[in-house]
Amino acid sequence: MKKWFLCINFIILLTACAATHNIPKSENPNVKEQPNIIYSFVDQNGNFYPNKWRVIYGNPPQNAKRNEYSLMKIATKKGIENQLTQTETSFLKTISESVKNKKRVIIFVHGFNSNAKRSTQNYESARKIMNINSGTDEIIQFYWDGLSSESIFGGAKIWFNATNFSQMAGEFGLRRILNTIKNKDIYIISHSRGASVVLSALSSPKFSESTKTETLENHNIDVDNSKSLKENNNSITCIMLAPAVGSADFKLKTSINEEPEFCTFSPQIKKIHITINNTDNLLKKYIGVLSKTLKPTDLGYKEDTFNELCNHFTIFEKTSFTGQKSHDFDHYLKNSKFKDILQLYGLLK
């Protein structure tokens, strides 16, 4: 009874404040910046923003709602779906050409409730302490619609929609980027719900039937029609800071009537290195019993979830950040233990 009382109080917070879509500030957001940085920005369904997107698609409503705005929704209404997909194909070719002669590709993925400016600042902070060679390394700064709110209660309000958007961003955005890359050492550094973006790119996430129907009817996107991760002979290492996911995010539902089973990762996935922090207030949702409910966040919070996954996978490593109370991306980046992780994988300057 106490647990449900706490859950109800948490849900009440969801109606507290408005949220906004995380949109690019630039009219041409998906670009290559010389010598070795690619900016990649997707909407709530994982579609890449085209050049002059604001002129063609307009700004989304200030109070972000799930079914009101998306690039494909508007493209369908205007009859320009082919134009949108062609610009996406062109951008993916740019990525393919940019990484062709590189040895390593480093991808940054922010968490929920983070706008583009704040995410860019965090990406730049991480780059400053990494041994990045512009001749042999390519950087991809990935931005997705984790929504944003300036209110103290805003994170609670946007959480549920952001969890769905993270899966779409991974399956339809980040996965398509990974499928353009061949024979490279890939390092993906994520924060918070960015872990879900990464997992959804590496192995198809599970969506409820209602979400599938809603996405098809409102946005003209068939969730079941995504392309699988290609076997491109890459070596992929994932560093997940404060992963706001749970063991359920590693499970697939094989049919409507069957219980979910743990997914099978591509042999390209060599390591998933997570942080565990039982003093991170956001991961425990301020009330510890909620970490496994209301879209779990317990992997980054509780060691027993890590141990459960280790029973099924051999690719996991962990570093304890317990003692740090802040969930903020920049605090995880400034923690000396992050440097230890970078050093372990040859990424520290």
Residue whose tokens read 């320009």: 80
Establish if 190 belongs to a structural domain: yes
Contact 14, 157 (CB under 8 A): yes
Q: Is residue 13 helix, strand or coil?
A: helix
Segment (H or E) for 281: none
What is the torsion angle, in degrees rounded to the nearest 10, for the CA atoms of residue 341, residue 183, residue 309 and residue 201?
A: 100
Taking residue 207's Cβ as centre, other Cβ atoms within 10 Å add up to 19
Of the given ranges (48-62, 122-136, 156-170, 284-298), which has the lowest mean pLDDT? 284-298
CA pair distance 205, 164, nearest whole angstrom: 10
CA distance 208 to 256: 10
- Domain-located, residue 199: yes
Is residue 161 assigned to a domain?
Answer: yes
Q: Is residue 3 scored above 90 in pLDDT?
A: no
Torsion of CA 182, 28, 83, 145, to 10 degrees: 70
> With contact defined as beta carbons under 8 Å apart, do 96 and 90 qualify?
no
Contact 137, 130 (CB under 8 A): no
φ, ψ at 209 (rounded to 5°): -65, -35
Residue 345 has φ and ψ, to the nearest 5°, of -105, 15
Among residues 265, 196, 335, 316, which one has the least CA distance to residue 305?
Answer: 316
Cβ atoms of 23 and 116 within 8 Å: the answer is: yes
| C-beta of residue 145 within 8 angstroms of C-beta of residue 116 | no
Residue 323 Ramachandran class (φ > 0 left, ψ -120 to 50 alpha, else beta): left
Instruction: With respect to residue 349, please indicate whether it lies within any of the assigned structural domains.
Output: no
CATH of the domain at 271: 3.40.50
Give the number of domains in the chain. 1
pLDDT of residue 51 exceeding 70: yes
DSSP E strands in 29-110: the ranges are 32-33, 37-41, 104-109
CB proximity list for 184: less than 8 A, separation 6 or greater: 99, 102, 103, 104, 105, 234, 235
pLDDT in tens, 290-332: 555 567 899 999 899 999 999 999 999 999 999 999 999 999 9
Residue 97 lies in a domain: yes
Structure tokens given for 198: 């990464």
pLDDT at 13 over 70: no
CA 245: distance to chain centroid? 11
Q: Range of 127's domain?
A: 2-252+260-344
Q: For residue 256, what pLDDT band results from cuts at 50, 70 and 90?
A: low
| CA–CA dist 165, 200 (Å, integer) | 11
**Cα 252 to Cα 205: distance, rounded to the nearest angstrom:** 7
- Of 6 and 100, the structure prediction assigns the larger pLDDT to 100
Query: How confident is residue 15, by pLDDT bands cut at 50, 70 and 90?
Result: very low
pLDDT 10s digits, 76-99: 999 999 999 999 999 999 999 999
